[in-house]
């Protein structure tokens, strides 16, 4: 939300108020664009929070960008708890959203609440995100009954990669577009506090955004959404291989990191690192006594 103060340049903790679920809901009516990014550990959480994100999503994208897998399907609740705990160790001002991994909210209402409860109790998440539209209404009801706020996620839902036949933009044909409109309306009616719209045409995202009274957060969904989310590795330039066309890379940290690493390697091999200034000294008399001990 743009009302937040500019982050302190010296890396000091930003003294901004904690972002809450009601703040996120209210941002739509106040027309304050919402900023969300992923984070998976203490370092990325600090970057996201000091950079002024309103929401930090501990995304199951960690299966791909952190754990190096080809999709998100093998991410477990244990892994999500582990990474969520690392993020919340930094006590960010941003709202922390815990992503529920594949099969953690599909089997029963009881299992869904227990798994979401682990993200909240053990991980410290303040709300959870689940993928899917009308099919998920029963589970959303169970989570809300347990006082766990829910963020929806429709469109190109990565956990449906096999059903979709790949990571494909959704809603390009009328039937699909109508389905997504219906899903968004049903999620909003069920009580989610925001909806991620991923990989949908910009015009469809605009129609959905105008239609629902909760904020939409777009990723590959054009400029009309109430907020935007990017995977932090993508926006910082840490992703190797294919980067989707909706990603704007705000830094090239991957290239900078490789250059820094090769400079370190060169300095070690040439004997240039460490210097005297980078080493600890002992007083001359102790050094002299030590020398005597060794020569004796």
Active centre residues (catalytic): 198
Tokens of 92: 């960010």
Packed helices 77-88 and 42-50: angle between N→C axes, nearest 10 degrees: 50
Lay out the site mask for ligand KIV across 13-52 (x = CB under 6 A, - = otherwise): -------------------------x--------------
Cα–Cα–Cα angle for 153, 158, 159, rounded to 5 degrees: 90
Q: Which is nearer to ligand KIV, 38 or 216 (CB)?
A: 38
Q: How far is the CB of 197 from ligand KIV (least distance, A)?
A: 9
Q: Which is nearer to ligand KIV, 16 or 59 (CB)?
A: 59
d(CA 78, CA 117) in angstroms, rounded, equals: 12
Per this entry, what is the length of the chain?
Answer: 296
Which of the residues 103 through 122 are near ligand KIV (CB under 6 A)? none
Neighbours of 51 (CB within 10 A): 16
Q: How far is the CB of 198 from ligand KIV (least distance, A)?
A: 6
- Residue of 23, 49, 54, 60 interacting with ligand KIV (CB under 6 A): 60
d(CA 153, CA 59) in angstroms, rounded, equals: 12
Q: Which residue is nearest to ligand KIV (CB)?
A: 59
Q: How far is the CB of 200 from ligand KIV (least distance, A)?
A: 12
d(CA 150, CA 140) in angstroms, rounded, equals: 7
Give the E-state strand segments of the chain in sequence order.
34-38, 55-58, 95-99, 127-129, 150-155, 194-198, 216-219, 227-230
59 binds ligand KIV (CB under 6 A): yes
The window from 1-9, 53-61, 77-85, 163-171 that contacts ligand KIV (CB under 6 A) reads 53-61
Q: How far is the CB of 37 from ligand KIV (least distance, A)?
A: 9
Q: How far from the centroid of its chain's Cα atoms is residue 89's Cα?
A: 15
- Residue of 99, 126, 226, 234 interacting with ligand KIV (CB under 6 A): 99
Q: Which is nearer to ligand KIV, 61 or 93 (CB)?
A: 61
Question: Cβ neighbours of residue 30 under 8 Å, at least 6 residues apart?
Answer: 1
d(CA 200, CA 251) in angstroms, rounded, equals: 26
Which of the residues 183 through 242 are near ligand KIV (CB under 6 A)? 196, 198, 219, 229, 231
- Alpha helices (H) along 94-237: 109-121, 137-145, 161-164, 174-190, 202-211, 232-236
DSSP, res 13: P
Q: Which is nearer to ligand KIV, 28 or 233 (CB)?
A: 233
By the 8 A CB rule, do 276 and 294 touch? no
- Give the containing element (helix H, strand E) for 151: strand 150-155
Q: Which is nearer to ligand KIV, 16 or 125 (CB)?
A: 125
Q: How far is the CB of 40 from ligand KIV (least distance, A)?
A: 9
Taken in order 135, 166, 71, 83, the sign of the CA dihedral is: negative
- Residue of 28, 52, 56, 61 interacting with ligand KIV (CB under 6 A): 61
The window from 19-27, 58-66, 161-169, 206-214 that contacts ligand KIV (CB under 6 A) reads 58-66
Q: How far is the CB of 130 from ligand KIV (least distance, A)?
A: 10
# residues near ligand KIV by CB under 6 A? 11
By the 8 A CB rule, do 104 and 115 touch? yes
Q: Where along the sequence are the contacts to ligand KIV (CB under 6 A)?
A: 38, 57, 59-61, 99, 196, 198, 219, 229, 231
């Amino acid at each position: 939300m743009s009302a937040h103060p500019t982050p302190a340049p010296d890396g000091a903790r930003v003294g901004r108020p904690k972002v809450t679920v009601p703040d996120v809901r209210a941002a739509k009516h106040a027309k304050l664009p919402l900023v969300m990014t992923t984070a998976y550990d203490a370092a990325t959480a600090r970057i996201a929070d000091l950079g002024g994100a309103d929401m930090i999503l501990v995304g199951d994208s960690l299966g791909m960008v952190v754990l190096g897998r080809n999709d998100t399907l093998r991410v477990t609740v244990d892994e999500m708890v582990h990474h969520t705990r690392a993020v919340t160790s930094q006590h960010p001002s941003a709202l922390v959203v815990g992503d529920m991994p594949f099969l953690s909210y599909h089997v029963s209402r009881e299992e869904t609440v227990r798994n979401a409860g682990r993200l909240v109790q053990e991980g410290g998440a303040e709300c959870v995100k689940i993928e899917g539209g009308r099919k998920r209404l029963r589970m959303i009801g169970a989570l809300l009954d347990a006082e766990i706020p829910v963020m929806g996620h429709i469109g190109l839902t990565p956990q449906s990669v096999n059903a979709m036949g790949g990571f494909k933009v959704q809603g390009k044909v009328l039937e699909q577009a109508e389905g997504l409109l219906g899903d968004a309306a049903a999620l909003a009616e069920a009580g989610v506090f925001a909806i991620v719209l991923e990989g949908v045409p910009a015009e469809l995202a605009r129609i959905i955004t105008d239609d629902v009274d909760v904020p939409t957060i777009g990723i590959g969904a054009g400029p009309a959404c109430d907020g935007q989310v990017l995977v932090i590795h993508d926006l910082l330039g840490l992703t190797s291989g294919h980067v989707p066309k909706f990603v704007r890379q705000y830094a090239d940290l991957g290239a900078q990191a490789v250059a820094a690493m090769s400079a370190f390697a060169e300095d070690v091999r040439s004997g240039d690192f460490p210097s005297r200034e980078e080493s600890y000294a002992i007083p001359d008399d102790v050094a002299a006594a030590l020398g005597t001990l060794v020569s004796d």
